[in-house]
Amino acid sequence: MKSWKSFAAMMLASAIVGPLAQAATYPDKPVTLIVPYPPGGATDVVARLIAQRLSDDWKQQVVVNNKPGAGTTIAAEFVARSPGDGYTLYETTAAHTISASLYSRLNYDPIKDFAPVTLTVTIPLVLVTAPGVPAKNLQELITYAKESPNGVTVASTGNGTPQHLTAELFKEKTGAKLVHVPYKGDAPMVTDLMGGQVQMAFVTLSAALPHIKSGKLNAIALAHPRRVEAISNVPTMAEAGMPGFEAATWFGLFGPASLPNDMRQKIYKDVSRIVAQPDVTKMLQDMGGDVNNSSPEEFQKFINAEAARWGEAVKLSGARVD
């Protein structure tokens, strides 16, 4: 009996000490950071910034692996099926919580199969048009879209993304005739917008900003409660005639659900220190972002609220992806 108790005590101690020891030595080999969009977009920019600083701090390489497609669900399923050892992390956007309501069939649970680590930054969406679109303000654009015989093409960064869903809500609220054209991320979408292959889009401000400033895209209105200094001449949607129409995407870090809490706290604290560095904070703000730097617990509450909010938006818009 005594030997059995000793064995049980040893196993319990091992179960407790094991994760602590792992967190203390983590990482001792390269870490992969999955991004569900192609290189060049806002998510990729944020992920590479964090990856480079973490590589410096950890003395281990943090490799960004882009897995675009299917409204971020390809990358998300890969992460959900990965071991929770801290060596596969996931930098994603609001599309992650939207997918729970938008897709009729998923091979993973966007809430239960992931461990939120930290919410880094929130960036508003801006409504832009291609140079050839004659409308110069929101009311003109709505009229133009209603009167176009074949409708107006509206691009997004993929099915189920905030850009897609925001366009669906815009269509629902205004009666504009919009034809959805999904892309695999910001970079290819913005390229085709500037070239006139598509006519309008709700774009992450960080991705649109340089092209608005250069005159290659026309900014119609910002889906944000207040104007942004970088484009202070662009009105909010409320100022342009659609009060209460606000939309933003966010950039947050996750691990698989089985990621031990001690390891999750360590990753959060290390990323939090990076985001709080003045040059990183300024860079994120220059992208038009509000820096959050939330703890895992705060991020979990945010995710739960986001899932409920976007779930209602999906119902209102009627959007659905089979």
**Is the pLDDT score of 4 beyond 90?**
no
- Locus of tokens 């461990």: 115
SS3 180: strand
pLDDT in tens, 216-229: 999 999 999 888 88
Strand 290-291 versus strand 152-156 pairing type: unpaired
What residue ranges define each of the domains in the chain, with the CATH number in brackets? 20-122+249-317 (3.40.190.150), 124-240 (3.40.190.10)
pLDDT in tens, 115-147: 999 999 989 999 999 999 999 999 999 999 999
Strand 248-256 versus strand 200-204 pairing type: unpaired
CB atoms within 10 A of CB 148: 15
**Is the pLDDT score of 53 beyond 60?**
yes
For the entire predicted model, the pTM comes to 0.78
DSSP structure string for 204-253? EHHHHHHHHHTTSSEEEEESSSS--GGGTTSPBHHHHT-TT---EEEEEE
Structure tokens at 318: 């009627």
**Is the pLDDT score of 200 beyond 60?**
yes
CB crowding 235-272: b at 16 or more within 10 Å, else e: bbbbebebeebbbbbbbbbbbbbebbeebbebbbebbe
Contacts of 212 (CB under 8 A, 6+ apart): 126, 128, 218, 219, 231, 234
CB crowding 18-45: b at 16 or more within 10 Å, else e: eeeebbeebbeeebbbbbbbbebbbbbb
